[in-house]
Structure 1
Amino acid sequence: MTKQLLIVANTPSPNTQELAEAVVRGASHPDIDNVEVIFKQPLQAGPEDVLAADAVLIGSTENFGYMAGLIKDFFERIYYPCLEQTEGRSCALYIRAGNDGRGTRASIEKILTGLRWRPIQPTLILRGDFDPGFIDQCEELGMTMAAGLEAGIY
């Protein structure tokens, strides 16, 4: 049975676009057969996408010590329509942080707690100047999420 992984990421720059592409690439690894990977920008994703997904992976930039406005908009649009229907949904989060990412992580994790979603691992925070190693970390996150979903772990 094919499962669906929804990836919603804010990509305002070439670097953040590379990170999202790495997550998708990892989730679409050729050894993972039974996971359909759906990537959407925050404004394109809605409650119907979340309800159809078996797991959700969120990518946000750190903006003024907070989540990206478009990610906040996404959560505002899906929160109540998905609240009771998605309890226990597996999720993961990565943050591209110019500073420390703590405010961004705290704000998003409060929403995930309210939704009663279940993080598969601690939030991945990519801090400071852009490092090419961030791409490998994002690819690994996508692969871990999809492989666990396929194996029925999540």
Structure 2
Amino acid sequence: MARLLIVHHTVSPATWELLEAVLAGARDDEIEGVEIVSRPALAASVSDALTADAVVLGTPANIGYMSGALKHWFDLVHYPALSSGRTVPYALYAHGNDDTTGAVRAVEAITKGMGWVRHRPPVTVAGAPTAADRDACRELGAVIALAALGM
């Protein structure tokens, strides 16, 4: 069975809404054969990263950067993931009150250095999530779940 890992730092109602939408998309009834593993960034492990067939990353934009929790997870998994030589497709969603540019740039720089491949452009949300934002996250979850299957 393919494995989709969702690593998130979800501390606000807005980031919870986005995570729930990603999970709803990944768990779509039409997608079979994918185990969905959702972990808070401070609980996700190296083993989680090394056994994932695809990854969704979720972060608030804090002071122009990704969350410290997601950065901590990257610190843990960077060298083991790099050493594995695996190319893993990933997707990103980020929420900020005003801007997510710095958070997106940081995540993309780290994942590129790890040899991961962005599967689709990030979903970025500034302010309160709209129905369109939730729909975009739902689609992101479904598309990356299919990527875990190699589709």
TM-score range, shorter chain: over 0.9
Partner residue of 1:33?
32
Look up the equivalent residue of 1:121 and give its one-letter code.
R
The farther-off stretch of 94-103 and 33-42 is 94-103
SS where residue 83 of structure 1 aligns?
helix
SS where residue 44 of structure 1 aligns?
coil
**How do 1:139-150 and structure 2 match up within 5 A?**
139-150=138-149
How far off is 1:14 after superposition?
Answer: 2.0
Partner residue of 2:99?
100
Residues 59 and 93, structure 2, Cα contact 8 Å, conserved in 1 = yes
Residues 54 and 147, structure 2, Cα contact 8 Å, conserved in 1 = no
User: Where does the alignment leave 5 or more consecutive residues of structure 1 unmatched?
Assistant: none
Look up the equivalent residue of 1:135 and give its one-letter code.
R
The farther-off stretch of 55-64 and 86-95 is 86-95
The farther-off stretch of 85-94 and 48-57 is 85-94
How far off is 1:124 after superposition?
Answer: 1.5
Residues 22 and 135, structure 1, Cα contact 8 Å, conserved in 2 = yes
SS where residue 99 of structure 1 aligns?
coil
How far off is 1:137 after superposition?
Answer: 1.2
**How do 1:111-122 and structure 2 match up within 5 A?**
111-122=110-121
Partner residue of 2:133?
134
For residues 103 and 76 of structure 1, the distance between their equivalents in structure 2, rounded to whole angstroms, comes to: 18
How far off is 1:13 after superposition?
Answer: 1.3
Task: Using the aligned pairs only, state the percent identity.
Answer: 36
TM-score between the two structures when normalised by the length of structure 1: 0.92
Partner residue of 2:5?
6
For these two proteins, the number of residue pairs brought into alignment is 151
The runs of 4+ residues in structure 1 deviating greater than 3 Å are: none
For residues 100 and 72 of structure 1, the distance between their equivalents in structure 2, rounded to whole angstroms, comes to: 18
User: Where does the alignment leave 5 or more consecutive residues of structure 2 unmatched?
Assistant: none
Cα-to-partner distance string for 1:3-46 (whole Å, 9 max, x where unaligned): 00000111101221121111111101111111110000001101
Compute the RMSD of aligned alpha carbons.
1.3
Residues 66 and 107, structure 2, Cα contact 8 Å, conserved in 1 = yes
Look up the equivalent residue of 1:128 and give its one-letter code.
G
Partner residue of 1:68?
67
